[in-house]
Structure 1
Amino acid sequence: MGLFLVAIGLLAIYLFNFYYVQRRKLPPGPIPLPFVGNSLSFIKTPLDVCLQKWKDQYGDIMTIWVGCVPTVTLHNSRVIYDTFVKDGDAYAGRMELSWNEIVRSGPLGVMFAEGPLWREHRRFALQVFRNLGLGRNIMQERVLDDVCALISHVKSEAASGKTEVNMFDELDIAIGSVINSITFGYRFSRENRSEFKRVKKIATEAVSFFNSFLYRVMDGRINLLRRLPFFKDVYEANVNHNNESREFFLGQVDAHLKNIDLDSDEEPSDYVEAYLRMQHKLDKEGVKHTYRFVVLL
């Protein structure tokens, strides 16, 4: 009887903390359930439909709960502008996901860094992308190269006697080639698409985790749930996915490193080359820095 009363007392404290203490200073929003938050709503109804319905009910600024993590969402262009443009520095931080502690092994670059580290890497990334032609005619030329390659491939398929061409696949690899040429300096081959398919699989799996109800419930209590049925499979799938991401992308970086001159004065041809050169320059000068490749997907 004593243990039962203790359990009831602990449950009451948890519910009071969850429904009153944690929510009292947050904007209004749909009432969350303990442990799962509003995640159950997304199982049968698309996220955008849920958000539109709640926005009509709670206003342009509201709170939804992803598991036990509160997420404040904005749904008005003026509010978004005032928040992230006029007062951008106040919102430059990044949400701390407990999954990061499982898979990370060093500085988190632009995506998950915050404060001075985030500003430094963001400044570097923007400068490199500008040099590579972002927002300029050079970028248009990169895109046009892949448009020409797409048209040439479709013509060759038609000339070979094919009556159908899957344009979704062709556009997929064309867009992937633009991104990869900026990142690694080369385009994907249409003759051997295995590399592109692997990259797409890794990216698709990364997005699918965030759409997983069990994944969202685990965040914040991974060490508690990782060995339980159902949750164990999600945990192992995420770790395996991250290992595959590291193996592939860091392998790409190593291969790239063998083909570039780190001391060259020429402009880097892609982002990875620029990053490796900066890393080499700072190492050579004996400067302590955070330019380290870390794959976190």
Structure 2
Amino acid sequence: MLGSLILLWICVCLLFLHLKNQRPKNFPPGPTPLPIFGTIFSLNLQNPLKDLERCYGNVYSLFIGSTPAVVINGFHATKEALVTKAADFSGRPHYTLISDFTKSKGLIMADYGPGWRARRRFSLLTLRNFGMGKQFMEDRILGETHYIVEQLEKSAGNPLCPESIFHNAAANIICQVVFGRRNDDEFIKLMIHPVTEMSNLITGPWAVLYDSAPMIRHLPLPFMRVFKYYENLVKDLINEHRKTRVPGEPQDFIDCYLDELDKKGDFDPSFSEEEMIVCILDLHFAGTDTTSNTLLAALLYLMNHPHIQECCQQEIDQVLDGKDQASFEDRHNMPYMQAVIHETQRMANTVPLSGPHCTTKDTELLGYSIPKGTLVIPNLTSVLSEEGQWKFPHEFNPENFLNDQGEFVKPEAFLPFSLLNEIKSSS
């Protein structure tokens, strides 16, 4: 009797989960989901999103556990969602690993709205005031460039892992702007370690498990310690700034944020210490990880294409004409170098799936009905390698960014960090 009741209970649960996994009317098509597991067993490990695109078209759906998700492929579908109907697709999901850690605060994982706009405006203004686009920042970048060259020259003829060199250089720049620390190797290592770990976590199997299995989210999972460690580290730095800063005379991003908190007091929920911690993480991640990975990709591609190296060197020698180093203004006279940099970003594809979005209201996309609150995943890889959008979609070739006259042009399909006004593409 007990066995029959247990079996009946299991059947009822499976039926409930099966019904829960049914697609709404006129929802994008996709593989049939299984209770609990969703569509994970329908994915080809080699290139799952490309295979599903061939089968179901540019807009299709998956189930991450019991959560429905719409995957957007190709330039036209992506542009319709993230530009034409930007407001409809500007939400952020509140049930993923990264959104739970950030509590949907900060810049990258916060919902689009007045608070997000205020923080973004403040952050961009502060970054500009502390050197972004100014001579000060240019000098700092040139200094880090000399550091990279020195490290590469020291290793000439020996095996080399350039990842740490690029990571340290990128981190040194962003740490100076955000934390006011210069050339502090121990501090850089202290800050890099948790950010690197978090980057690996949110793009690895733990994130997939966390997002697809709600029942484990309240368990004391081992990886949560790295999130707490970073939070405590930044809190200590904020407290240190509180003791040493002179109000109205900010030396870095943290000082500026503390000045802003003094002005607004407790009347503006858009600005708080919690928001500041997540903003710092966003800036740190955006300014370190994507930059260092793009530099690493540039090194690898140029090593494999020596003829492109030669063309770069010829243009640099011609434009500099005896000068020791390039300046930011020289870019206007270096169309080939600009093309190489942008082609590196296209092929490096450092943010292949953009950030997760969700719909803010019931909407439509290419004739399909997308209910409010649906998880949306823009597949930027499909845009950056889409045939018909690029001259050479599947190879590293600067001609993708040059017209017939050799002038630099930026195709519409160049979306390395997503089309929304996120901090990464804006700063």
- Normalised to the residue count of structure 1, the TM-score between the two structures is 0.75
Instruction: Note closer, same or farther for the CA distance 1:196–1:125 as it changes in structure 2 (3 Å cut).
Output: same
> How many Å apart are 1:291 and its aligned residue?
1.6
Unmatched segments (≥5 aa) in structure 2 = 282-427
Task: Work out whether 1:109 is the aligned partner of 2:115.
Answer: no
Aligned match for 2:230, one of 228, 242, 245: 245
2:180 paired residue number: 185
CA contact (8 A) 2:30 2:52 kept: yes
> C-alpha deviations, 1:156-208, integer Å up to 9, x for none?
x58xx99676533222211111222222233343xx4x433333321232233
Letter in 1 for 2:262: H
Task: Work out whether 1:293 is the aligned partner of 2:273.
Answer: yes
> How many Å apart are 1:36 and its aligned residue?
2.8
Task: Work out whether 1:217 is the aligned partner of 2:214.
Answer: no
Once superposed, what is the RMSD of the aligned Cα atoms? 3.4
Unmatched segments (≥5 aa) in structure 1 = none
Letter in 2 for 1:242: F
> How many Å apart are 1:293 and its aligned residue?
2.9
> C-alpha deviations, 1:236-277, integer Å up to 9, x for none?
31321221111212222222333322223xxx4432222121
Task: Work out whether 1:280 is the aligned partner of 2:280.
Answer: no
**Alignment map for 1:1-297 (pairs within 5 Å):** 1-18=4-21, 20=22, 22-39=23-40, 45=45, 49-97=47-95, 108-114=105-111, 115-134=113-132, 139-152=137-150, 157=154, 166-189=161-184, 192=185, 194-213=186-205, 215-219=207-211, 222=214, 224-225=215-216, 235-264=220-249, 268-283=250-265, 287-294=267-274, 295=277
- Normalised to the residue count of structure 2, the TM-score between the two structures is 0.54
Q: Which structure features the higher share of helix residues?
A: 1
- Measure the CA separation in 1 of the matches of 2:86 and 2:134: 25
> C-alpha deviations, 1:202-245, integer Å up to 9, x for none?
123223333444543343754x3368xxxx5xx43132122111
SS at match of 2:36: coil
State the identity %.
Answer: 20
Instruction: Note closer, same or farther for the CA distance 1:119–1:12 as it changes in structure 2 (3 Å cut).
Output: same
SS at match of 2:222: helix
CA contact (8 A) 2:28 2:70 kept: yes
Q: How many residues are paired up?
A: 273
- Measure the CA separation in 2 of the matches of 1:173 and 1:100: 24
SS at match of 2:107: helix
